[in-house]
Chains A and B, each alone.
Chain A
Amino acid sequence: MTGAPPGPRTPAGAPGARGEPGAGAAPPKFAVAARAALADTGLRRGLRAGAAAVRERRSAAPEPADWEDLREAGRAIRDGALLGLDAHLEELERAVTEAGGRVHWAAGAAEARRIVTGLVRAAGAAEVVKSTSAVAREIGLNGALARAGVAVRETGFAELVAQLAEDDPEGPAPYRDRARIRELFARRLPGAAGGPPGDPAALAEAARLHLRERFLGARVAVTGANFLVAETGTVVLLESEGNARMCLTLPDTLICVAGIEKVVPAWADMEVLLQLLPRSASGAPMTPYVSSWTGVTAGDGPREFHLVLLDNGRTKALADEVGRAALRCIGCSACLDVCPVYERTGPAPYGPVRAGPIGAILTPQLRGVERAAEASLPFASTLCGACADVCPVKIDIPEVLVHLRGRVVESRRHRPVPTPELVLMRGLAWTMADPRRYEAAVRRGTRWARLMSRGGRIRRLPGLLGKWTEARDLPAPPPETFRAWWSRRHR
C-alpha cells in the first residue's frame, strides 16, 4: 500500500454482486441516476478536488516531445491486436500452456463466474484475496463467490473500504472523505485508531497491517490484467499500491480474469504501452508497481496458474466497424479525469461495467441497448471531445457515441407505437426538407414562442422543451427571421 487516499474513483458499489443483464429490477436511466449523485455534496466536492488534482499533475509534468508519436504507435498496436485477435488468442493459449498455466474460455458472465468458483472450490479454499479488477465487477464475481461460500478479501484500498463499510454492492458508492474512512477503520480494523485525523499515511498503514495477514494466509488469489502478451503468455499488471503484486506472488493458486481484448501480440509492444498507460492514468511518468507473470515456476510463486478469458459481448463489439474502437482501451481512466459530465456525476450512474466516457461507449456494446439504462449511456455526453483529446490510444469517443446513438434510435424505429421523439424528429426532417415548409414552420413557431414570452424572455415552455426552462430562460425570437430580413432587403 502506498497510501493513496481514496480518490473520486471509488467504484460504483463494492465490486458487485450483480447478476446477468435482465436480472432483478431494471437499473435507472443515466439522467435519473445522475440526480442522486448531483445532490451528494460530499461526492461533488471529492470529484471536483480529484479533477483539479489531475489537472495540476498534468500541467506540472508536460507531455514528452514524442507523445503524439507514442499515441499513434499505441493506437496501431491495439488496432493490430484486435485485427488479428483470433490468432493472437491462440498464440496466447499456447504460450500460457507451455509455461505451465491453463487457459479457460468464458463466453459470458455466468460461465466466467462458474469457472472461477469451480477453480476456487477445487483448490479447497474458503477464502480468496482479490485485487482491483474491472472485469470482476463486470461479471459480478464477488457475489458469485459469496454465494458459493467463499469469503472474498479485497486488497485494493478503495475496494477494501467499500467492503468494510458493507456498501450495497448494487447501489452507488457513497462518498467518504479521509475522516470518515478513519472512523470506519477504527470501527472495523482492530488497532487502527491511531494517527491524526485525515492523515493518509496512517490510513494506508492501517490497511497495510490488516492486509498483510490476509496475504500470508491466502491460498488463492484472483486478479485482473492490464495486458496479456500473446508471444510469451505473460500477464502484465500495473498498480500503485503493491497489493496486486502480492496477489500474483504469494498464494498457491493464481486466477487471472481478463477480457479477450487485453491481448497484445508481442513483448516489444509493452515498450510503448508502458509509457502511455502510467502517464495517462496518473500524470506520472511511471507506475509504482509493474508486475509481469508467466505461467508456473518450480519453487517460486503460485503452483497453479489459471487464465480465464472472457468474451461477454466483446466479439459482437469487434464486429462493429465504428464501435470496435472502444476495445482499444487500455483502461487508463484519462477520459474520466477530463470529462465534465463524470466530474459532476461520479461513477454510479454509468452502471457496473465501466464509468465515464469509455463506459458510455463500452457498456452499451457489451450489454446491448434494449434496456433504457444502457440505451441512455451514449446520450450522457455533450460531445465536447475532451476525452478524445487525451485518450492515449486515440479512441474517437464522440464518434462512437454518435454511432451508438444511431444504433439506439434504429433499435426503436420499428416499435409498434413510435416513440414521441421519433415522431418529432421525423416531422422536423420532413419540414426542413423543403424551404417553403421550413419557412412557414419557423414563422408559426416564432409567433407562438413570442406569445409565450414576457419582457423578451421565455421562462416556461411545455413538453420536452420544459426541461430547458427548468433552469434556463430562452430569448423571445425577434419578429423578423434572418430569412425574412434578407428577402425584404433584396426585394
Chain B
Amino acid sequence: MRVALFVACFDDALFPATGRAVTALLERLGHDVSYPPGQTCCGQMHWTTGYHREAAGLARAFTAAFEGAEAIVAPSASCAAAVRDAYPRIARAARDAALARAAEELAVYELTEFLVDVLGVTDVGAYFPHRVTYHPSCQSARTLGVADRPLRLLRAVKGLDLVELPAAQECCGFGGAFAMKNADVSVAMVADKVRHVRDTGADVVCAVDNGCLAHIGGALSRLRGGVRVMHLAEILAGTGPA
C-alpha cells in the first residue's frame, strides 16, 4: 500500500526518531512510504489557541499537500484528530465549503488505527525487552477513540513487559498552550501523572502523542525520574537482537 507520511512540525524538529521509526516499521511490513514535501504544520496549534483564520490558511495548505494520497498516516493522535475532527469545524468557521470538501477526502489515520484497522496487524514483529507502561493521551482516547489498539500492539511485542498505568485516563496537563498559559495547574497535573508512572516501576512510558510525552518526559527529566519516554512507534520499530 502507498502510505503518505504526515510528520507533525513538533515531531519533525524535536522528535525526528518517531518519523524514522514509522518509516522503518511500515517499510518492514512491505509498504511504500512517501513524505509529501509540501507539508508543514496542520494548524492545530492555531486552531486550539483561537487563531482560527490562520488555522484555516494552514488547513488549506495541508489539504493541498496531501491531495490524492491513498492513506495518510500520522504518528501523532492530536494532529490526526486535528485533520479529521477539527478541519470540518475550521472550514465551517471560515465558511469555506471547498476546504470542507477537501478535508472530507483526506483519509488520515493515526498510526495504531492504520496498523490495526487498515492493515489488520497487531503483531508487527517487534522485540523490546523492557518494562513499559502506556499513557492513553486524551486526543487518542477521546477524540479519535483508538481504544485498546495501542495496547494490543504492545502486547504482541516480544520481550515487552506491559504494566498498567494507574489513573491512565487522566490528562497529563499538556494541552498545548495550556502548559504555558496555565503553567501552575499544568504542573500540578503532570506531577500526579509522573507519580503514577513511577509507581508502575516501568523503564519506559509510551504514548502516541509526542506533545504529551514531551510534557511527561520534561517533568521526569527535571526530577531525574529515571523513566524514559518513548513514542509507541519507536517500540514497534525495534527488532532487537538479530
Contacts and interface: CB of A to CB of B under 8 A. Distances in A.
Nearest to A34: B185
B106 interface: no
Interface string B144-176: 000000000000000000000000011101111
A293 interface: no
A38 B143 contact: no
Contacts of A480: 16
Contact of B187 (A388, A403, A406, A472): A472
Contacts of B89: 399, 402
Given A380-B182, A467-B179, A409 B17 contact: no
Contacts of B52: 406, 409-410
B101 interface: no
B183 A382 contact: no
Interface centre among B7, B15, B181, B189 (most CB of A within 10 A): B181
A428 B175 CA distance: 19
Given A381-B178, A384-B138, A481 B143 contact: no
B9 interface: yes
B93 interface: yes
A30 B182 contact: yes
A388 B23 CA distance: 35
B241 interface: no
B11 A482 contact: yes
Interface in B34-49: 35, 37-41, 45-49
B26 interface: no
A482 B20 contact: yes
A57 interface: no
B180 interface: yes
Nearest to B171: A384
A410 B89 CA distance: 17
Interface residues of A, number: 65
B58 interface: yes
B61 A433 contact: yes
B54 to A, nearest CB: 4
Contacts of B97: none
A465 interface: yes
Contact of A438 (B40, B86, B142, B222): B40
A346 B122 CA distance: 42
B41 A432 contact: yes
Interface string B203-220: 000000000001101110
B142 A384 contact: yes
Interface in B8-32: 9, 11-20, 23
B48 A402 contact: yes
Contact of B9 (A405, A442, A468, A474): A442
A345 interface: yes
Contacts of B14: 446, 474-475, 477
A379 B182 contact: yes
A35 interface: yes
Given A408-B50, A467-B183, A472-B219, A477 B178 contact: no
B79 interface: no
A472 B175 contact: no
A30 B186 CA distance: 13
A480 B170 CA distance: 34
Contacts of A473: 217-218, 221-222
B183 A468 contact: yes
Contact of A31 (B49, B86, B174, B185): B185
Nearest to B78: A383
Contacts of A471: 183, 187, 190, 219, 222
B218 A472 contact: yes
A31 B138 contact: no
Contact of A344 (B12, B13, B185): B185
B143 A385 contact: yes
Contacts of A402: 47-48, 50, 86, 89
A482 B12 contact: yes
B184 A35 contact: yes
Contacts of B188: 38, 344
Contacts of B178: 379, 381-383
Contact of B182 (A31, A388, A459, A474): A31
A384 B212 CA distance: 11
B51 A382 contact: no
B175 A445 contact: no
A407 B173 CA distance: 24
A438 B37 CA distance: 11
Interface in A365-389: 376, 378-386, 388-389
B177 interface: yes
Contact of A429 (B57, B169, B183, B219): B57
A425 B49 contact: yes
Given A482-B7, A483-B12, A34 B184 contact: yes
Contacts of A380: 182, 185
B233 to A, nearest CB: 12
Contact of B142 (A389, A481, A482): A389
A385 B142 contact: yes
A446 B13 contact: yes
A478 interface: yes
Interface in B55-105: 57-58, 61, 86, 89, 93
16 contacts: A38-B188, A380-B185, A382-B176, A385-B142, A402-B47, A402-B48, A426-B51, A433-B58, A438-B41, A445-B13, A467-B179, A467-B180, A472-B222, A473-B218, A475-B221, A483-B35
Given A31-B185, A379-B178, A435-B37, 12 more contacts: A340-B170, A345-B185, A382-B175, A386-B171, A389-B142, A425-B54, A435-B40, A446-B14, A468-B179, A472-B221, A482-B18, A485-B16
In the complex, the 8 A-B pairs of residues with the closest C-beta atoms, listed nearest first: A382-B175, A405-B50, A472-B218, A429-B54, A409-B50, A384-B171, A482-B19, A482-B16
